[in-house]
Structure 1
Amino acid sequence: MIYSRTAAGERFAATSPVCVEIYNDAPLSYLTATAHTLLAELTAHAIVVPTTTRTPAQYGRIDLPSGPHRYAVTSNGGAILVDGQPDPVWRDHIDRIGAAAGPPVGAVVDELAGRVNDSWVRSLRTADDLFCYLVVDTDQQPGDFVAEWRGWCEPRGWNVSQQGRKIYTMPNAVTKSAAVREVHARLTADRTLHADSVVLAAGDGVLDIDLLEYADLAIRPRHGELEETRWQHPEVAVTAARGITAGEEILTWFHQHATSTAHPDMTAAQRTSTCTTS
């Protein structure tokens, strides 16, 4: 939904962009003016659950027009925020299944650190004590690095994906779909959502695939990691637009499906849970 100036594309200036994230006293991320309005209006038709690989602190920098949201999913599903605060019950669950599935993040970071060097890696960071990622110079990055690193990780219950300058190393136990399924279960249990309500989702990277496949209907933009790998799914639509205007198209799609998938006994707010990734 949100784009840096670099990722926004050539139509950035023509979209009357609205800044929704400030970092180090400088504007960082934007919505188009139309997308800003559409996202605010969407909350009248659906429960919006922002879903992101960002940590809670990184997500907290974003000022979405329809916020604050009762629920958000951060840390790629490792954290569920309830009224802005990480839910300890969910985190305990993630920590337990992660410990049973493979080595801890510290051991993975140590192994990774021994495989990289400063000639092409700008930083190695640990996120929310759950996963790690590299920020790299893609021009200098060894062509076989991701494949070799994936070969070490996969037998140990971890996965690897690259999104632009970032290479993520993620435990298989941490997924967006599991966290969104939990949020949806809570919202149906307290009758905020009807039991037959649908889940709509959007995403553009490999770390979004499980969420896109879990959703009843989903959409991805015609750019990003999934476009580069030509990933397709019969229940996942693809935008015509690229860059920041793809966000407008996705939000228009959300509006159309949030109002057309209603069970006859549902109120407007009970129809749909929409999950937008960033």
Structure 2
Amino acid sequence: MARRVSTLVATDLDRTLVHSARAAGPDVPGDVLCLERRRGVPTAMLTRRTAATLAELARSTTWVPATTRSVAEFRRLGLGPGIGGTPRYAVCASGGVLLVDGAPDPAWEARVRDLLADGAPVAEAADLVTRHLARLDPATRGPVRDADGVLLVARVADPAADWLDQLAADCDACGWRVATHGAKVHLLPARLDKSVAVAEVRERVAATRLLAAGDSPLDADLLLASDAGIQPADGALHAAGWRAAHVAVTRGVGLAAGEEIAAWLLARAAQM
């Protein structure tokens, strides 16, 4: 008897499936559903076709949103009402938190503590990046933000500057790593990323296949771990020249790419 194929689909959210007004692209395909606003400006939107496709994906597979957003930022999206149902699993803070039925999973919290034990405490890593940022013009940098005690984020005007090389070296020496995305500098424990948390969900649901989607360097490990994946043509990862034979690239950008990604995942999930 042929083995039954069980599919887990793990996707980034921002600039992959949902987009801000700035990142929406030149063509808005159809009606748009706004999930989040700041000062009246949409910061997270998706088309209603994308929402409908994601709802179908959630019914036919195990769909896991996997985001760099903190738990509070993820909850602020109200993703469940937007697509007609909340996914049972969600990965936040680039793998630092696993939500199960909306609540942080205690078993994963214990696993993360073990992973963090190999490196410097988060307070020490925060102090390290703060010292590096102090060398910059105050007008070009923002404060260091702690996302759920496992991910540090700071906004910097020039995240490609030479000082990042020294920061990366110092972080490596204390068990942390640096990743940049747009104007943000992220510090993560060296042994933690989205793919590690998604692998935990895959084991729990006994999925035989993993599909993935993402746009940034923080999604590279997840895309590499997948059996097949897709990235948007306007993503930072694609712009940096990152390619993999099993990872497709969208034709469209912005909200149109979000629709394309959701449709691609649903069609690929239906293939046995």
In the TM superposition, 1:1-278 aligns within 5 A as: 1-12=17-28, 14-23=29-38, 27-64=42-79, 65-100=83-118, 102-117=119-134, 118-138=138-158, 143-188=161-206, 197-261=208-272
CA distance, structure 1, for counterparts of residue 212 and residue 53 of structure 2: 16
- 8 Å CA contact 1:18, 1:31 repeated in 2: yes
Identity %: 35
- Paired with 1:228 and 1:84, the residues of 2 have a C-alpha distance of 34
Deviations 1:59-109 (A, max 9, x none): 101122143111111111111101000001111111122112x11111111
Deviations 1:110-129 (A, max 9, x none): 11111114131022211111
* Distance 1:46-1:66 versus aligned 2 partners, 3 A rule: farther
Distance 1:51 1:84 in 2: 13
Instruction: Name the TM-score, length of structure 1 as normaliser.
Output: 0.84
**Given the superposition, is the C-alpha separation of residues 87 and 24 from structure 1 closer, same or farther in structure 2, using an over 3 Å criterion?**
farther
1:132-168 CA-to-partner distances (Å, cap 9, x unmatched) read: 1111234xx6721322211221232211111112110
Distance apart, 1:45 and its partner CA: 2.0
Tell me if structure 2 keeps the 8 A contact 1:202–1:220. Answer: yes
Distance 1:167 1:84 in 2: 27
Report the Cα distance in structure 1 between the residues aligned to 2:44 and 2:115, rounded to whole angstroms.
34
Q: Distance in 2 between matches of 1:21 and 1:73?
A: 19
- Structure 2 length-normalised TM: 0.86
Q: Secondary structure at the match of 1:18?
A: strand
Shift of residue 24, structure 1, vs aligned partner: 6.2
| Partner Cα separation in structure 1 for residue 218 and residue 48 of structure 2 | 28
CA contact (8 A) 2:195 2:222 kept: yes
Please give the alpha-carbon distance, in whole angstroms, between the structure 1 residues aligned to 2:115 and 2:189.
Answer: 10
Contact 1:123/1:136 (<8 A) preserved: no
**Contact 1:23/1:61 (<8 A) preserved:** no
CA distance in 1, matches of 2:141, 2:252: 32
| Paired letter, 1:174 | L
Deviation at 1:8, TM superposition (A): 1.3
1:204-233 superposed Cα distances (whole Å, 9 cap, x missing partner): 111111111111111111122211211011
SS of 1:201's equivalent in the other structure is strand
Q: Secondary structure at the match of 1:97?
A: helix
Unaligned stretches of 5+ residues in structure 2: 1-16
8 Å CA contact retained: 1:50, 1:71: yes
The RMSD of aligned alpha carbons is 1.7
Number of matched residues?
250
Which residue of structure 2 lines up, in the alignment, with residue 274 of structure 1?
Answer: none
> Which runs of no fewer than 5 residues in structure 1 stay unpaired?
262-278
Equivalent residues of 1:122, 1:135 under 8 A apart: yes
- The secondary structure found in structure 1 opposite 2:76 is coil
